[in-house]
């Protein structure tokens, strides 16, 4: 322990899925109360709250949550940062603790998406004009989705995948193997939205959504929440030994946005900012990819996971295809990736995702992951990326057990 450390002392997530009988705040309250119970604390102990949510971000959900579980007058930050929203809430609380403004804080991520179809499709509809008139910064006279290529999420990540395929010779089968692995992993996770194993043939022959990603290679939309209780080092020393014993250290927490590139306006570059975040996190934590026992990375599409093997330095440069072929990222492999089932099968309620992946890693580092436990796990990495663009990488460590 050292004075600058921040610890996770309580964490919880709801099951991911579709819950028409629960509203956004029901889900947030469920995860939050479970996380507080996990830390053996109440709202009276919390000095700061950050709530992350994307689709209802203008509703001041942090304050709405307080009204259901405890109004204590503490500062509340409502944050939104695409698919990195949950991780942004964690970082907001962490920074408040590091700034000395709080010693215990609560980060919550929640989303209620239901069955909303392809992401980006709903947000971009514009009423058909009767008379063409140039509008906006591109002087466009009509909606250009499908006319000038695609900007929808499945299309962006498919194009990013094909760029890697063209450069490094990976095939649609390599991408499909990622989905095969994550669906298989999810069978062991009772909180996953789907828990069904598929053969490679079933994945490849499923409905094509955006070449090369078939339906089983795209994450579902859904509902869910996750919450984490963070604590300063000084405060941790005064907590109950049973809480201290299960505390997990945040060894690195890094956020990046995309730097300028010549192709960024045509296709979001999901690689560079991930590499920047990973490299900075390894440096901060003083550990390398070879020290990791498990990784939860942002597999919004099967193509994305393959790219991130390379971006997070889990494989040789250009070697993501060989990495999946070798079986390394399977739960019994050299470096298990997405043993939760990943976004592909565990689900991806946007605001919750960046805390749910921390939940997964913390649970393994505590040795409490039940039948999906990675034995002896001591160091883990989480990664999220949202367009366009925010990336967060966290490295988490269990203290050496005495």
Partner 1 sequence: MAKQVPVVDYLKLGDPPHLTAHACTSCGALYFDRRNACARCFGRTFTTRVLSNTGTLRTFTVMYRTKKPFVSAIVDLDGGGVVKANLLGVDDPEEITPRMPVELDTFIAGVDDEGTEAVAFGYRPRKVEK
| Chain residues in the site for partner 1 (CB under 8 A) | 118, 129-132, 134, 136-142, 144, 146-152, 154-155, 158-160, 162-163, 166-167, 207-212, 260, 262-263, 265-267
Report whether 355 contacts 108 (CB < 8 A): yes
Q: Give the integer Cα–Cα distance in Å for 96 and 47.
A: 9
Choosing from 83, 218, 231, 300, the catalytic residue is 83
How many Cα atoms sit within 13 Å of 23 on the Cβ side?
Answer: 6
For residue 192 the two structure tokens come to 């996953």
Angle at 247 between CA 283 and CA 365, to 5 degrees: 70
Give whole-number Cα distances, 158 to 150, 212, 297, 322, in Å: 10, 6, 17, 20
Give whole-number Cα distances, 304 to 165, 178, 218, 331, in Å: 12, 10, 10, 19
Nearer to partner 1, 140 or 373 (CB): 140
Report whether 110 contacts 352 (CB < 8 A): yes
Buried b (16+ CB within 10 A) or exposed e, 217-227: bbbbbbbbbbb
Nearer to partner 1, 58 or 265 (CB): 265
User: Does a cis peptide bond (omega within 30 degrees of 0) precede residue 220?
Assistant: no
Strand partners, 17: 223
Tell me, yes or no, if 298 is annotated catalytic: no
Nearer to partner 1, 202 or 233 (CB): 202
Choosing from 183, 185, 308, 348, the catalytic residue is 348
Tell me, yes or no, if 174 is annotated catalytic: no
Nearer to partner 1, 37 or 148 (CB): 148
Give whole-number Cα distances, 180 to 218, 270, 295, 330, in Å: 12, 23, 17, 10
Nearer to partner 1, 212 or 222 (CB): 212
How many CB atoms are located within 10 Å of the residue 88 CB? Answer: 25
Please report how close the Cβ of residue 299 comes to partner 1 at its closest, in angstroms.
17
Nearer to partner 1, 103 or 258 (CB): 258
Name the nearest CA neighbour of 239 among 2, 39, 33.
Answer: 39
Please report how close the Cβ of residue 308 comes to partner 1 at its closest, in angstroms.
17
Nearer to partner 1, 134 or 376 (CB): 134
Which residues, other chains included, contact 103 with Cβ-Cβ below 8 Å and sequence gap of 6+? 47, 97, 231, 232, 234, 235
Task: Kindly calculate the radius of gyration of the chain based on its CA atoms and give it in whole angstroms.
Answer: 21
Nearer to partner 1, 6 or 344 (CB): 344
Residue reference for tokens 């907590």:
239
Q: Give the integer Cα–Cα distance in Å for 234 and 12.
A: 23
Q: Give the integer Cα–Cα distance in Å for 205 and 220.
A: 18
Please report how close the Cβ of residue 206 comes to partner 1 at its closest, in angstroms.
11
For residue 151 the two structure tokens come to 């900007």
Please report how close the Cβ of residue 134 comes to partner 1 at its closest, in angstroms.
6
Please report how close the Cβ of residue 154 comes to partner 1 at its closest, in angstroms.
7
Please report how close the Cβ of residue 247 comes to partner 1 at its closest, in angstroms.
41
The catalytic residue positions are 83, 348
């Amino acid at each position: 322990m050292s004075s600058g450390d921040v610890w996770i002392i309580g964490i919880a997530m709801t099951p991911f899925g579709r819950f028409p009988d629960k509203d956004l705040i029901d889900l947030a309250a469920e995860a939050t109360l479970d996380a507080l119970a996990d830390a053996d604390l109440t709202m009276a102990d919390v000095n700061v709250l950050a709530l992350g949510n994307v689709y209802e971000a203008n509703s001041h959900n942090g304050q709405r949550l307080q009204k259901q579980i405890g109004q204590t007058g503490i500062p509340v930050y409502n944050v939104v940062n695409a698919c990195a929203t949950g991780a942004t809430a964690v970082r907001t609380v962490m920074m408040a603790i590091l700034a000395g403004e709080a010693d215990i804080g609560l980060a919550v991520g929640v989303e209620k998406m239901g069955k909303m179809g392809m992401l980006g499709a709903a947000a971009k509809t514009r009423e058909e004009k009767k008379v063409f008139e140039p509008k906006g910064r591109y002087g466009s006279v009509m909606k250009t989705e499908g006319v000038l290529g695609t900007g929808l999420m499945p299309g962006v990540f498919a194009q990013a995948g094909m760029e890697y395929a063209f450069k490094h010779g990976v095939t649609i089968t390599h991408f499909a193997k990622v989905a095969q692995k994550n669906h298989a992993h999810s069978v062991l996770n009772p909180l996953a939205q789907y828990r069904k194993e598929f053969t490679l043939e079933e994945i490849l022959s499923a409905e094509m959504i955006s070449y090369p990603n078939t339906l089983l290679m795209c994450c579902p939309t859904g509902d869910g929440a996750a919450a984490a209780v963070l604590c300063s080092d000084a405060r941790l020393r005064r907590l109950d030994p049973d809480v201290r014993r299960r505390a997990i250290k945040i060894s690195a927490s890094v956020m990046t946005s995309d730097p300028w590139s010549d192709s960024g306006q045509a296709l979001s570059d999901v690689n560079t900012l991930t590499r920047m975040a990973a490299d900075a996190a390894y440096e901060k934590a003083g550990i390398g990819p070879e020290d990791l026992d498990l990784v939860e990375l942002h597999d919004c599409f099967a193509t994305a996971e393959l790219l991130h093997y390379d971006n997070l330095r889990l494989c040789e440069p250009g070697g993501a295809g060989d990495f999946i072929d070798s079986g390394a990222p399977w739960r019994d492999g050299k470096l298990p990736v997405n043993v939760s089932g990943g976004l592909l099968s565990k689900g991806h309620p946007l605001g919750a995702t960046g805390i749910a992946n921390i939940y997964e890693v913390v649970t393994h580092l505590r040795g409490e992951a039940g039948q999906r436990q990675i034995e002896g796990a001591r160091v883990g990495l989480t990664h999220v990326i949202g367009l366009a663009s925010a990336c967060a990488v966290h490295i988490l460590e269990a203290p050496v057990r005495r």
